[in-house]
A = this chain, B = another copy of it.
Amino acid sequence: MFSKACEYGIRAAIYIGQQSASGRRVGLKDIAAEIDSPEAFTAKILQQLVREQLVTSVKGPTGGFELTPEQLRTVTLRQLVVAIDGGAMLQGCALGLPQCSAKQPCPMHYQFLPIRDQLNELLRAHTIGELASKVQEGLGFLKQFS
């Protein structure tokens, strides 16, 4: 569905959000450990999110990553996905035609559209803050214990 980079990016953002909601800034090492992702790779993805201003970073001692209250409230899953994976999956043709359009639709077009639209809606409807709460309340997990 999403790329590895995107999966790590979303999980990282949610974890940062969860901690930010409790007033804690978190470092890369902590993040990677808590979401079970490769540290250096996660760093790359976070850099990208910081450049897009979806996540905030602070250098130096006591530094780390955080989400501002505004970011918690307004940044959606969709913005993360677009920033990392681009819009292809959210707009592209299911069968890989260069354009998804009713002009020359692929044979799955009309069946596929509603599902893709729901996915778009789903991503648009959920903010990082909201998902972070869910984790905070123990209703969602960012890694699995065996």
Interface residues of A (CB under 8 A from B): 1-2, 4, 7-8, 10-11, 14, 77, 89, 92, 94-99, 104-109, 111-112, 115, 118-119, 122, 126, 131-132, 134-135, 139-145
Which chain B residues border A143 with CB–CB below 8 Å? 97
Would A141 and B111 be within 8 Å (CB), given that A94-B1, A118-B118 are in contact? no
- Tallying the copies of this chain within the complex gives 2
CB-based contact A95/B144 at 8 Å: no
Would A2 and B104 be within 8 Å (CB), given that A109-B140, A118-B118, A119-B115 are in contact? no
Which chain B residues border A94 with CB–CB below 8 Å? 1-2
Would A7 and B95 be within 8 Å (CB), given that A131-B107, A141-B106 are in contact? yes
| 18 A-B contact pairs sorted by A residue (CB < 8 Å) | A1-B89, A1-B92, A1-B94, A2-B95, A2-B96, A7-B95, A8-B96, A104-B141, A105-B139, A106-B140, A106-B141, A107-B135, A111-B126, A112-B122, A115-B115, A115-B119, A115-B122, A118-B118
Would A111 and B122 be within 8 Å (CB), given that A7-B96, A141-B97 are in contact? yes
Which chain B residues border A92 with CB–CB below 8 Å? 1
Question: Which residue of chain B lies nearest to A96 when distances are taken between CB atoms in the complex?
Answer: B7
Which chain B residues border A108 with CB–CB below 8 Å? 77, 122, 126, 131, 140
Would A106 and B142 be within 8 Å (CB), given that A1-B94, A94-B2 are in contact? yes
